[in-house]
Structure 1
């Protein structure tokens, strides 16, 4: 089954080779605080930090220093988090990546396997509003392979992470069922038990314009084009009704930063819809992948989506 995430959004930084280098350097003097490199500048929550180079042997197990503790809710598995971070190898004075320079926080769902294990473990059980320094041994990071060219094999990593926000993700869309009385459009199930809704595509010609209709309409806030939404979805080809992707298969919702969503029909179909709703989206080729095959999706395909907009960041 093809996964849309790789086609639709910029790869998640911490499980990809897309990490970006930085010219900002930490202190060349090796100084340590509680077993991890000292934050040499920008120590307060919200400030871009710089880190000293690690001194001596790096920790063999995960190490978390709470630099400053927030007053928000305690994070747990299944929460959608929004964070800012800076990452640096233990033996380096140069960060390999940071979100502070991009001006765009990073969104991650705890327990969804989107990031390295050291992040999953280090962020769980912490309070929103906290600044953490996390030392991650190779087996909880990128291991023997590393993530070339930015991260060497068997690298111990150090991150400074600000937890900006945490949102509990509902198991399903809710709301009032909306009549699906157009026989020329797909029918989507209205179950709210967290299982995949049924998706039945009619044996008719597909629409030539984008369709975005409520299946379940909630009373939530409208989605904006600048939002990051957490969704469950089933995606199928109109031609034969075959499902080519589903978050329900993995049991893990997907994060869609809408500014980075390259599939126009899906983005436009979500914008303006209410958080908590289930939406039917039909994207004609001009609003999908056009005349190019994409990872097994035939060219000139009309795509059909049943999307639960679970929450937004």
Structure 2
């Protein structure tokens, strides 16, 4: 039987292909992450020629991380994909299938009308790259770039939203688009928490491994009865922003039963990260991760009343206390 995840995948956003609705929207929380990802394009994405211009000038906010202001395009845009690396990053290299964390501004060449900006929202976006979740120009250009890079793109319709455009964003089928993209980070199945190891000196609680090599950490269970209340302790404390109760997160995790230590779910086993909103998981997860810092590994002990109760679910028996190791890689 196919193993099911206890987590809920997020719906696609504006930059996805127009056909990327998802049967994951409104799906039950037990559906697998892989099953609820937006579908890839039914046809191979077009590959364009890369040229270095023309591209409009960034007039304000020129540094990586600053919200940019971009001038109106001058003259006719290229029918090819125009690319300029404005800041060359030195971080990890983006690979096909990675979860790319980025900030971006998008506007229309002819009018300079901004149709979307994560800078204005104050929160970076996260999507898988190179597999058809994002428009073809992004999938082609961003694979191989490094975290810390700022890239400006000119995207003609053939490598953007096609002849149908994106009416809800005011993008018509003949619009060339201009993007400024800051590559904040990139994550894959080998990503781990990074930070300061914290003491695990309570003999009545589980001990979680501190390896950061991308392998699943060991979870050693104590003897005795489980705690009746929720426990959420740092194993590794990162230095990122604190997770809010309204956030969604990108994580690695492993879950075992307190009684017997049987593993019932793990992103490591699937080789696939999970992303979910804290309002879409069991209460023990949402309460346990709220207030914890991005970049951290957290040990969570979830009593039955904050987990799956007396009924259980799939491989989780009724009345089970659950133990998780959770690496918070990014806020989505």
TM-score class, shorter: 0.5 to 0.7
The Cα RMSD (Å) is 5.8
1:135 aligns to 2:155 (yes or no)? yes
CA change 1:222–1:118 in 2 (3 A) is closer
In structure 2, distance between residues paired with 1:204 and 1:90: 66
Shift of 1:281: 1.0
Which residue is 1:76 aligned to?
93
Gaps of 5+ in 2: 23-50
- CA deviations 1:6-43 (Å, max 9, x no partner) are 34x5656544549xxxxxxxxxxxxxx9666757x866
In structure 2, distance between residues paired with 1:157 and 1:289: 50
1:86 and 1:98 in contact (8 A); partners too: yes
TM-score, normalization by structure 1: 0.57
- CA deviations 1:74-111 (Å, max 9, x no partner) are 66126986533234689998766432442333245767
Which residue is 2:83 aligned to?
64
Which residue is 1:104 aligned to?
123
In structure 2, distance between residues paired with 1:38 and 1:6: 40
In structure 1, distance between residues paired with 2:148 and 2:90: 6
- CA deviations 1:115-165 (Å, max 9, x no partner) are 556434423436736341242776x7678999897699x999735123164
Which residue is 1:30 aligned to?
none
Q: Residue 180 of structure 2 is aligned with which of 139, 161, 164?
A: 161
2:56 and 2:72 in contact (8 A); partners too: yes
Q: Residue 264 of structure 2 is aligned with which of 236, 240, 243?
A: 243
Which residue is 2:8 aligned to?
6
1:224 aligns to 2:224 (yes or no)? no
Q: Residue 213 of structure 1 is aligned with which of 233, 248, 251?
A: 233
Gaps of 5+ in 1: 19-32
In structure 2, distance between residues paired with 1:145 and 1:309: 38
- CA deviations 1:49-97 (Å, max 9, x no partner) are 47669968843xx54234xx23653661269865332346899987664
TM-score, normalization by structure 2: 0.55
Which residue is 1:261 aligned to?
278
CA change 1:273–1:70 in 2 (3 A) is same
Name the count of aligned residue pairs.
284
1:166-185 to 2 correspondences below 5 Å:
166=185, 171-173=191-193, 175=197, 178-179=200-201, 181-182=203-204
In structure 2, distance between residues paired with 1:206 and 1:303: 9
1:47 aligns to 2:47 (yes or no)? no
